Structure 1
Amino acid sequence: MKNRTDSFVSVGHWPSAGSFEFNTDILATNPINLSVVLGVLIFFGKGVLNDLLDKRKQRILSTIRNSEELRRGAIEQLERARVRLRKVEIKADEYRTNGYSEIEQEKVNLINATCKSLEQLENYKNETLFFEKQRAINQVRQQVLQQALQRALGTLNSCLNSELHFRTISANIGILGSAEEITD
């Protein structure tokens, strides 16, 4: 037992009562000092260490829960975005299909309208040609008629002498006189 007490406190020198010294022999005192320090640390530090580890564990679990919630939210947003994308793609296909059919319909309508306009222009052209032809014919007729009348007057004037002129006037007066009696 003497070795044990010697390892803690050097009792080789007792010059005065109550003196206390530390043994500086590292090889003799190190395992005992370490066991004492570890015992004190375990006894007093166990609660603090457990509290620190529990808090760290709770923070990690909270972070994991938050991450899971964020992941679920992101997945929900992704699904909603995919649904919206599908709807937009469907609408785009409808617009594309309707747009092509509307373009084709407009094309057909434009072609039909152009054909009708061309037919109307052709009819107007034909009517204009017909009216111009009729006007030209009427002008020619009037010129021919005027020339014929001028020739007839010229012939009458050259052939007509005073006696023939007087008989023609008398015959016309007679015709007019008989026409007046019939109307009265």
Structure 2
Amino acid sequence: MKNVTHSFVFFGHWPSAASFGFNTDILATNLINLSIVIGVLIFFGKGVLTDLLDNRKQRILSTIQNSEELRRGTFEQLEKAQAQLRKVELEADEYRTNGYSEIELDKEKLINATYPSFENLEKLKNETLHFQQQRAMHQVRQRVFQQALQEALVTLNNCLNTELHFRTIRANICILEAMEKR
């Protein structure tokens, strides 16, 4: 510190104070040089630094404005997309409803178209069942008649003797002759 004050004190006593020279005292020259450089920087650099900061501020503001515009545009696109999604969902529900109603109509038409065929098949089935029942009853009657006839013949053959047999034949012949005369 002594050197710093010593250099200032001798500054006024130098014989060539008005001349330019080289000072080898590092501490004294650094403080003077730093204060001069800082002063020059503040004086001349203030405008440059202010311009740089203003430019930086303008770029930041324009970036923020662009971001806000993009955000607004994005929200508008989102709202449009949501509206279109709602519209598509409504159309899908309408198609689904119409599709189900068309399916029901087609089903009903198919049922109505096949119902007469079904009725005809049912009628044919009932007629076939009735015919088969009649046929089965006729066959049963024939078998019962045949069995009864066979049993009657067996019984007659066992019970008839020759004389009874001749009387029966004569009675039947008389019946047949009476029938012929009529």
The 5 Å alignment of 1:63-82 reads 63-82=63-82
| Separation in structure 2 between the aligned mates of residue 5 and residue 33 of structure 1, nearest angstrom | 18
Q: Compare relative contact order (CA 8 Å, sep 6+) and give the higher one, 1 or 2.
A: 2
Tell me the residue number matched to 2:50: 50
- Equivalent in 1, 8, 27 of residue 4 of structure 1: 8
Deviation at 1:21, TM superposition (A): 2.9
**3-state SS of 2:58 partner:** helix
Tell me the residue number matched to 2:32: 32
Tell me the residue number matched to 2:105: 105
Deviation at 1:6, TM superposition (A): 4.6
List alignment gaps of at least 5 residues for structure 1. Answer: 130-184
List alignment gaps of at least 5 residues for structure 2. Answer: 129-182
AA in 2 matched with 1:63: T
Contact 2:23 2:29 in 1 (8 A): yes
Aligned length: 122
| Separation in structure 2 between the aligned mates of residue 75 and residue 27 of structure 1, nearest angstrom | 64
CA shift digits 1:67-113 (9 cap, x unpaired): 10010000011001001101111111111111112111111111111
Tell me the residue number matched to 1:91: 91
Contact 2:7 2:28 in 1 (8 A): no
Deviation at 1:53, TM superposition (A): 0.9
RMSD: 3.3
Give the structure-1-normalised TM-score: 0.55
| Separation in structure 2 between the aligned mates of residue 53 and residue 40 of structure 1, nearest angstrom | 19
